[in-house]
Amino acid sequence: MFPSRLDKPLTRLLLDYDYRVAGNTIIQVGIRGFASEQIHGHCRDLFDAAERLIPIIHEEEYQRRFMEITKPT
């Protein structure tokens, strides 16, 4: 599969909220020395992961950034 123009900004968005995607797995990043990483679910791609996290993160800033990244050009 070819990388999408959304991959970098969506990766940054997820990392800013302590999540990352490895393959088709959504992982909540742990705090080194305090908490381990946790599998949070599965997804088809970065867009799907970011969309699935909207109700979980539930912050207006996250939703605003997601909408800005994914708006049609």
Q: Of 21, 26, 28, nearest to 4 (Cα)? A: 21
Is 18 a domain residue? yes
Confidence of residue 3 (pLDDT cuts 50, 70, 90): low
Is 47 a domain residue? yes
Confidence of residue 44 (pLDDT cuts 50, 70, 90): very high
pLDDT score of 1 more than 60: no
Is 53 a domain residue? yes
Q: Does this model's pTM top 0.75?
A: yes
Kindly tell me the burial class for residue 33, based on how many C-beta atoms sit within 10 Å of its own C-beta (0-12, 13-18, 19 or more): exposed
Is 2 a domain residue? no
Residue range(s) defining the domain that contains residue 21: 7-67
Phi-psi region of 33 (alpha: psi -120 to 50; beta: other; left: phi over 0): left
pLDDT score of 2 more than 70: no
The H or E element spanning position 37 is none
